[in-house]
Amino acid sequence: MEHLPVEVIGNILSHLGVARDVMVASAVCRKWRDACRRHLRLLSFNSDDFPRDMTTRQLEIVITQTIFQTMGLQCLSIHIDNTHEFSAAPVIAWLMYTRETLRSLSYNVRTIPNVNILEKCGRQKLEVLDLYHNTITGVEPSYQRFTCLKSLSLRHFSISALDLSLLVAACPKIELLALDVLEVVTSDPQSTMELTSHTLKSLFAKSVGVDKIILDADNLEVLHLNALNLDLFELIGKGTLKHLKIDDVSVTHLDIGDSTDNLEAVDVSNFTIVWPKFYNMISRASNLRMLRFWGVVFDDEDEIVDSETIAVSFPLLTHLSLSYELRDGLLHYSLQGSSPLENVSVLELGWTVISEHFGPWVFGMIERCPNLKKLVIHGVLSEAKTREERQMLASFTSFIVCLMRRYVHVDVQFEYE
């Protein structure tokens, strides 16, 4: 090790990342201290890495000393649990000291008073900004401009709809936006969040406190909506969407645009669906490779999605996931038609409440997939089972054994909750 250049040692220490380990390593010798000072590029502070009896003031001093012993930090992560509330002054000092070289900042620190991160990091070379448990008020796009930012994540955050719109507009190169548990302040009783970005490629929105979301994004490729209660979600784009995921969402009107030709993956779970409207949205996706309907409730109880429709509409489909839904004797995913799911190689099927019809349905789905390579069975097993449920499970087990003997080329896996 004594013959290694300090640049190489600095690169090795950067891969350690965790500040506690870097601190220990830098104490080995003068050469290693020099490597930490001149060539360390990444530091990560987490309150869980330090003794629990360490006071807030001691933690402030350790972080300050460690950061100030470096030159040229590019990635900085500071995550402090809510038992500590730092003074604003040292936090501002960390940000001001590193702002010229910093490319990535992940920040979860409670301070008194609140530190305006945008004010300290704007107009710099930052490319990734991940903020937790913070509040932003009064965005000034002419001053707080992030010309290099490509990824922005706001988690457990409070911001007005106008400030969020201005913040996104202040990031002319943004490609990824994650909004995770967002308290959105609006003056409109029908709270609306409008975002416009012509560079955005991916949006993740979870538990965002608004009634309407209108997104104008010409180049959006990935859309993931989770745990939302909306009157309206509207995507205004140019048909670039490739991946659509909707999980635990209630929305009165969903509009992802008419141009869905480039869709490759649709994943819908725990969602009430109006099938004719939804099918009309995705029916043009002839390049669809993955389709997942799991725990879906149909608005019309008599609605049926048949495998014929899936096979004809999505001929390139390779991965199909369906959960068995039987309501009032009606199976929502029927085996009508004769068109094979020619390219499906992975099939995932599951139940929430098992019935005697599940086994034959599985068999029928397998028969429709002549090139199947992998079958995954998902099931929910309650602790207290009736005699009837135990018999159905035993019958299904015997059925699967016979199935595996017949389709020896298929890899069968089980995942039970």
> Which residues are CB-neighbours of 164 under 8 A, at least 6 positions away?
154, 182, 184, 193, 195
Distance from C-alpha of 216 to C-alpha of 235, rounded to nearest angstrom: 6
pLDDT in tens, 203-231: 999 999 999 999 999 999 999 999 999 99
Greatest mean pLDDT among 21-25, 32-36, 308-312, 378-382 lies in 308-312
Structure confidence at residue 141 as a pLDDT band (50, 70, 90): confident
Q: Note the pLDDT of residue 4.
A: 64
pLDDT at 9 over 80: no
The mean pLDDT value for 23-42 works out to 67
Distance from C-alpha of 146 to C-alpha of 152, rounded to nearest angstrom: 10
Distance from C-alpha of 234 to C-alpha of 294, rounded to nearest angstrom: 23
Q: What mean pLDDT, rounded, does the chain reach? A: 86
Three-class SS state of 133: strand
Residue where the block lists tokens 């992030």: 146
Distance from C-alpha of 68 to C-alpha of 93, rounded to nearest angstrom: 9
Nearest residue to 200 (alpha-carbon basis) of 249, 244, 155, 149? 149
Distances in Å between the Cα of 277 and the Cα atoms of 30, 57, 376 are 68, 58, 29
pLDDT at 397 over 50: yes
Q: Note the pLDDT of residue 391.
A: 83
Token reading at 273: 């669906």
Whole-model pTM?
0.89
pLDDT in tens, 48-73: 888 888 999 999 998 998 889 888 88
Token reading at 43: 């530091």
Distances in Å between the Cα of 359 and the Cα atoms of 72, 351, 366, 398 are 62, 11, 11, 10
The mean pLDDT value for 151-168 works out to 94
pLDDT at 330 over 50: no
Structure confidence at residue 329 as a pLDDT band (50, 70, 90): very low
Token reading at 168: 């996104």
Contact, 158 vs 131, CB < 8 A?
Answer: no
Going by the DSSP 8-state scheme, the letter that residue 49 receives in this structure is G
Lowest mean pLDDT among 128-132, 331-335, 373-377: 331-335
pLDDT at 298 over 80: no
Going by the DSSP 8-state scheme, the letter that residue 264 receives in this structure is -
Contact, 345 vs 318, CB < 8 A?
Answer: yes
Distance from C-alpha of 212 to C-alpha of 184, rounded to nearest angstrom: 11
pLDDT in tens, 168-201: 999 999 999 999 999 988 776 678 999 999 999 9
Q: Please provide the DSSP assignment of 378-396 as one string.
A: EE---SS--HHHHHHHHHH
Lowest mean pLDDT among 29-33, 51-55, 363-367: 29-33
What are the structural domain ranges in the chain? 116-258, 260-416
Task: Work out whether the CA dihedral 184, 185, 190, 195 comes out positive or negative.
Answer: negative
